[in-house]
Amino acid sequence: AEQRTFKFYQADVFTAQPFGGNPVAVFPEADGLTDDELQQIAREMNLSETVFVFQPTDPTAAARLRIFTPTQEIPFAGHPVLGTFYVLAHLKRIALNEGVTCLFQECNIGVFPIEVHCEQARVVRVVMSQPKPEFLD
């Protein structure tokens, strides 16, 4: 089998301290990976969530995210989205303005707004809106 290489980054969300907060693995270029490979990689990462970034199918979105736990794909989760957009901003994969940049992210349940806050060309905060929760019986 052909060997392929994919870069990934680990971000600590909800903290300013290294090794604190909630970790998430982010694969910023996941195009070409199969569903089985995505799940195998998430299992190997063994974090609560691993995010794979794809080209969006919605023209308004900056990126399409697929989020996996070690055992399954999930439709949406908060801290993985925040960590992913921090990584994408750090890698300069999204164009940022000083102050607040408003973007959209696409996930398995739709397209939702993201705000990336910058001060002196550094990302200082990522804020997202999320859908209303659904309570299952």
Catalytic residue annotation: 49
Amino acid (1-letter code) at residue 58 = D
Q: Which residues contact 44 (CB under 8 A, 6 or more apart)?
A: none
Which residues on neighbouring strands pair with residue 106, listed in sequence order? Answer: 64, 111
**What's the CA gap between 104 and 68, in Å, rounded?**
20
